[in-house]
Structure 1
Amino acid sequence: MKSGDASVFVVDASVWISAHQVRYPSDVFPTLWSHLKSSAEAGRIRCPRQVVHELGSNKSGVAAWVRNLKQLVIKETAPVQRRAGEILSEYNNLLHGATHDAADPWLIAYAEAAGWVVVTEEKMSQNVAKPKIPNICSDLGIECIDTVAMLRRLGLRL
């Protein structure tokens, strides 16, 4: 962990899904989820409403957990909305057939605008025609890390 690291992390749906369903289920790692909640309440972890939309409308599980943390969800701004559209135009294969409300360009636009760190479980794509979040972050000079790196930087120790 960086000493005095005050980074803000903008988190992709892949992080929440992987953490909750595979790596760190809340019934086994309640301390982790408590720490994530505290970090969100302190403004250290954020996500666009599009991430909440991608998680679905389940009344239980990680979708409900994320929806219930009002401080977690970022309010849209006109400059970020414009930038998300520009990113989508520039990297027109980013969504791979998903809807235009998908979160990827929004994550990147918020991180770029605010100097935040993108957190995703996606890996760099070797296929230039199908870029992933880390490819675009690299192109734009935006820091992009995975879940474990975020947890370290938040200072979590179980």
Structure 2
Amino acid sequence: MQEDRKNIYLLDANIIITAHNLYYPVSKVPEFWDWLEFHAKNGSIAIPREIHEEIKGGNDAEHVRWAKDGARKKLLILDEEFNQDLLERVINEGYAPDLNEVELDRIAMDPVLVAYALADPKNRIVVTNEVSKPSRKRQNRHVPDVCSAVGARCCNVYQMLRDLDFRTNWKSNV
């Protein structure tokens, strides 16, 4: 009998960037960042390597230093081989089968994130700050709509926070 595995939330780079810039700055709400690290350690949160490389910021970007810290980076990175066939499926079914080079540059790493979710669609959930805009076509499609088109699960950061029970006093319950 196969046991059910727990969900793994695959974070888009915009989750880290926006959290720091808008609502949970690293130095102001360290509980959030500790919580992310805790869930990375227990396998509930991961960031594909290609997506991790998209985490950028200014000269004094605390969130970049946090995410790129050697030991923490190792915890955060989803350590597995990438499936090129899944990427092609995401591009063809989620965007368009005939994207040109300019369009492919525009979609950047989003299809990679979705492809990692498709590697285990029952247990992986893409977490993004992008919102559904079904009227968008081709390279302008948003991650939630691409996920929907290919059968990958997707949620926003607030759903992940609810699902994993984030509170600023979360350590008292661990």
| TM-score for the superposition, normalised by structure 2 | 0.75
Matched residue SS, 1:126: coil
Are 1:72 and 2:76 counterparts? yes
Instruction: State the match for 1:148 in structure 2.
Output: 158
Q: Equivalent of 2:84, from 81, 86, 90? A: 81
Give deviations 1:39-91, integer Å, cap 9, x for gaps: 1111111111121221138685222322222121123425x232113322441
1:104 to 105, 110, 116: 110
Q: Larger Rg: 1 or 2?
A: 2
TM-score by length of 1: 0.82
What secondary structure, in the 3-state scheme, does the structure 2 residue paired with 1:21 have?
A: helix
Question: How many Å separate the matches in 1 of 2:110 and 2:27?
Answer: 29
Q: What stretches of structure 2 of length at least 5 have no aligned partner?
A: 169-174
For 1:108 and 1:39, the matched residues in 2 are separated by: 20
Aligned pairs for 1:6-155 within 5 A? 6-56=6-56, 60-68=61-69, 69=72, 70-78=74-82, 80-90=83-93, 91-92=95-96, 97=103, 99=105, 102-115=108-121, 116-129=124-137, 130-155=140-165
Deviates more, 1:83-92 or 1:39-48: 83-92
Query: Could you tell me the percent identity over the aligned residues?
Result: 30
Aligned length: 152
Q: In the alignment, residue 86 of structure 2 is paired with which amino acid?
A: R
How far apart are the structure 2 equivalents of 1:16 and 1:56? 9
